[in-house]
Amino acid sequence: MRQNGIGIMAEPFDNKDSSRFEEFGKKVDERFNQALPRVEEGVKKVIAYLNDQVVPQLRQDSSHALHAAADQLRKLAEQLDGGRGAR
């Protein structure tokens, strides 16, 4: 531990360690910059897949579900109408 006026907390951040940390940060930044175009391309592919495949299928399934619900409601209404006449 140093006691030369800099303080104990400053020891891990001397110039030697600081330059190694800076070099490490530069390498990490460089790797991120290299990977970024691949990540962006992957995100674009996922968005295209969702828009081209998933969304249309959901709309079609929703349409079928609404038609089925409408048919059931129509049948229920017919039963209710039929029950009134039997009274």
63-81 confidence digits (pLDDT tens)? 999 999 999 999 999 999 9
Task: Name the percent of the chain lying above pLDDT 70.
Answer: 78
Q: Strand, coil or helix: what is 5? A: coil
Find out whether 11 and 1 touch, Cβ atoms under 8 Å.
Answer: yes
The token pair at 30 is: 């460089």
CB atoms near residue 5 (< 10 Å): 6
Domain extent listing, the chain:
14-85
